[in-house]
Amino acid sequence: MKRPLQRVLLVEDNPDIRTIVKAALEMVGGLEVRACASGAEAFKALEEFDPQLALLDVMMPDMDGPGVLAGLRVLPAGVNLPVVFLTAKTATAELERLRALGAVGVLTKPFDPMTLHQQVKDVWERVPPA
Amino acid sequence: MTAEAFKRQLEALAADYRRDLPEKLAQIDSIWRDLMHGAAQPDRITELQRELHSLAGSAGTFGVAGVSEAAAKAESFLDPYCARRKIPGLAEQAKFTTLLDALRRTAS
């Protein structure tokens, strides 16, 4: 049986969105969130935080979301880490491109902060047990 | 912590966001002016698009959906220019300026 979702690694460069996602998932969803402003910060936090799921913004300077996903896949703690993309680009082709990269889910912005935790948990429910 | 506590925090965050909105728009205007007047390298058009993208992705979440939509239109307009790192021609500049005007009106 799969463990309930508890720890989420968030990578988001926009400080407004980073703050609200972290607060929404923690205060409403009861999750523990490690919020990182960049892929480099996330790679450093990965082993110590041991997330069950990563929530990655797509459009970021320096290293975008797909770049962070590729970086996670070469790290022992990130090889099998389920990844969900968070994107403001909602065209069907873009959503399909992100899923094809290996994401278990794609959530779109803007989002409802009150129900975001449920969206994340719904994706987690669809992830096969490790 | 409860959903009620989060709602109160959300209201405070949204108020902060709306307070800071003019500054975000001024930053967008500043980059665009620099690009139009040749005071910025053409590749800064990607920075301009990133600022608009950020606004498109965040404003709706903070309760200003109109700003999100107007920013998304302006962001999409720049797609072909960002791909080529090229500043729009004069006619296209006028169209983009109209989109920024609409964004500013929506935010006010």
Catalogue the E-assigned strands of A21-129: 32-36, 53-57, 83-87, 105-108
Whether B54 maps to a domain, the answer reads: yes
Whether B100 maps to a domain, the answer reads: yes
Q: Which domain holds residue B81?
A: 41-108
The whole-model pTM stands at 0.90
Residues B17-36, mean pLDDT to the nearest whole number: 95
Asked if the Cβ–Cβ distance from B9 to A59 is below 8 Å, we say no
- Chain B contacts of A114, Cβ < 8 Å? 3, 6-7, 10
> Which of B13, B27, B54, B78 best probes binding to A when mutated, by most A CB atoms within 10 angstroms?
B54
Distance CA B50, CA B28 (A): 10
Structure ipTM over 0.85, yes or no: no
Considering only alpha carbons, which residue of chain B is nearest residue A60? B50
Number of domains in chain B: 1
The residues in A 66-105 lying below 8 A from B, measured between CB atoms, are 87-88
Min CA distance, A71 vs chain B (Å)?
22
Whether B91 maps to a domain, the answer reads: yes
Asked if the Cβ–Cβ distance from A110 to B61 is below 8 Å, we say yes
Task: Tell me whether A26 touches chain B (CB under 8 Å).
Answer: yes
Looking at residue A128, what is its pLDDT?
Answer: 86
Q: Which domains does chain A have, with CATH numbers?
A: 7-125 (3.40.50.2300)
Evaluate whether A16 touches A108 at the Cβ level (below 8 Å): no
Strand A53-57, strand A32-36: pairing: unpaired
Lowest-confidence pick of A62-71, B1-10, B29-38: B1-10
Residues B31-38, mean pLDDT to the nearest whole number: 92
Looking at residue A27, what is its pLDDT?
Answer: 93
Q: Tell me: the pLDDT tens digits for A7-63? A: 999 999 999 999 999 999 999 999 999 999 999 999 999 999 999 999 999 999 889
Task: Tell me whether B78 touches chain A (CB under 8 Å).
Answer: no
Residue B1's pLDDT band (boundaries 50, 70, 90)?
A: low
Whether B3 maps to a domain, the answer reads: no
**Longest C-alpha distance within chain A, in Å?**
39
Read off the amino acid at residue B55: L
For A88, phi then psi, to 5°, come to: -95, -10
Q: DSSP labels for A15-34? A: HHHHHHHHHIIIIIT--EEE
